[in-house]
Amino acid sequence: MTETVYVQLLDLTCGALLLTAVLILWRRDLSVIVRVFALQGAALTALVAVLAAHERSGELWVIAAGVLALRAGLLPYLLRRTLAAAGEPQREARPLVNVAASLLAAAVLTFLAHAVSRPLVTLAPSPAAQAIPIAVTVVLIGFFVLVTRRHAVSQVVGFLLMDNGITALGLLTTTGVGLVVEVGVSLDVLLAVLVLQILAVRIRETFGDTDLDDLRELRD
């Protein structure tokens, strides 16, 4: 793989990562959000694969396979099942911050991410390091989704978005965090999602809805 092709592929996969994050913010339909999240898993896989091909590292190829299986396969499947169990199609009807404002907030977050990751980029100006701001943006957008969405499933997606961003960040900064760490993190995430899924099902069985704002009533 020549250098220019590598850079272009890297930019494109990072662009796809960012675009899917934005789309998750943009759409209200939960099934669409889950589908876009699966797409993001695929984009992350492509990113890892590009890095693996460039570094010629077997370890990275294994990580790529793991990412594909977990983030484009298993996690979206689990989320879809949670949605399917709920029956009728669900929507993020009234997010705490309306969609237009969320998108503008995402613009601000992008600039923030660029501003804070500037020192990291200048530290080691490689093509992979150039894409660090995008990974930071994905983390921030994930956090934003976690904060502003009401529905349990979209909150889980926000959490996973953050995790995708952190994985991409790790890969881009060190070009590989080590297989053991990656496997450990992935298992953690899987566990978290399973627990959240069970919680979501329980909440729904008790309250008939998975709007997390209703949980506030439990406090008293």
Partner 1 sequence: MTALGLAGAVVQPVLIVAGAPVLVGVMRQVRARLEGRAGPGIRQPWRDLRKLFGKERIAPRGTSEVFRVAPLVLVATTLVITVVAPFVTVASVLNPVADLFVVVALLAVGAVALALAGLDTGTAFGGMGASREVTILALVEPTLLVAILALSARVGSTNLGDVVSSMVREPSRVISPVSLLAAVALVIATVAENGRIPVDNPSTHLELTMVHEAMVLEYAGPDLALVELASAMRLSVFLGLLANLFVPWGIATTATPAALLAGVLALVLKVGVLGAALAAAEVFLAKLRLFRVPELLAGSFLLSLLAVAASYFLA
Partner 2 sequence: MNPAQVTFGAAVALALATAVAAIVVPRRVVVGAGTALTGAAGLAAGVAAVSGHSFSLVLPGLLPLSGVSFTLDALGGLFVAVTGGVAVAAGVYATSYGKASAVLPMFVLAMLLVPAAASVGTLLVCWELMALFSLLLVIGENRSRAEVTSAGRWYAVMTHLGFVSILCGLMVFAAHAPADSFAALREARLSPAVSATVFVLTLAGFASKAGIVPLHAWLPRAHPEAPSHVSALMSAAMVNLGVYGLVRVGFDLLGGGPRWWWLLVLALGALSAVHGILQAAMSTDLKRLLGQSTTENMGLVLVGVGAAGLFTASGNPVLAGLATAAALLHVVNHAAFKTLLFLAAGAVLHGTGTRDLDALGGLRRTMPVTTALFGVGALAASALPPGTAFVSEWLLLQALVHGLPPSGVDTAIALPVAVAAVALTAGLAVVTFVKAFGVGFLAKPRSEAAANAREVPYGMRAGMAIAALGCVVLALLPSLVLPAVAGGATTGLVTLRLTGVTGSLSPLLLTLWLVVAVVVVAAGVRGVVARRTRRDARLWDCGGGPMSARMEYTATSFAEPLQRVFDDVVQPELDVHVTHHEESRYLVRAVEFRRSVPDRVERRLYAPVLAATRAWGRAGRSLATGSVHRYLGYGFYTLCAALLLLAVTR
Residues that bind partner 1 (CB under 8 A): 4, 8, 11-12, 14-15, 18-19, 22, 26, 98-101, 103-104, 106-107, 110-111, 114, 121, 130-131, 133
d(CA 133, CA 43): 16
Q: From the CB of 160, what's the least distance to partner 2, in Å?
A: 29
131 touches which of partner 1, partner 2, none (CB within 5 to 8 A by kind)? partner 1
Give the residue with the Cβ less far from partner 2, 65 or 129: 129
Q: From the CB of 114, what's the least distance to partner 2, in Å?
A: 7
184 touches which of partner 2, partner 1, none (CB within 5 to 8 A by kind)? none
Give the residue with the Cβ less far from partner 2, 98 or 206: 98
Q: From the CB of 2, what's the least distance to partner 1, in Å?
A: 12
14 touches which of partner 1, partner 2, none (CB within 5 to 8 A by kind)? partner 1
Cβ 63 vs Cβ 182: under 8 Å:
yes
Integer angstrom CA distances of residue 148 from 19, 52, 67, 102, 159: 19, 36, 27, 9, 12
Q: Does 174 bind partner 2 (CB under 8 A)?
A: no
53 touches which of partner 1, partner 2, none (CB within 5 to 8 A by kind)? none
191 by Cβ neighbours in 10 Å (0-12 / 13-18 / 19+) ranks as exposed
Q: CA angle at residue 8 from 6 to 14, to 5 degrees?
A: 100
12 touches which of partner 1, partner 2, none (CB within 5 to 8 A by kind)? partner 1
**What letter does residue 94 receive in the DSSP assignment?**
S
d(CA 165, CA 132): 10
| Footprint on residues 93-152 left by partner 2 (CB under 8 A) | 98, 101, 111, 114-115, 118
| Footprint on residues 25-54 left by partner 2 (CB under 8 A) | none
Give the residue with the Cβ less far from partner 1, 64 or 132: 132
d(CA 14, CA 138): 10
- In terms of DSSP H, where are the helices of the chain? 3-26, 30-55, 58-67, 75-86, 99-116, 118-123, 127-130, 132-148, 152-174, 179-207
d(CA 192, CA 188): 6
Q: For binding to partner 2 (CB under 8 A), which residues are involved?
A: 98, 101, 111, 114-115, 118
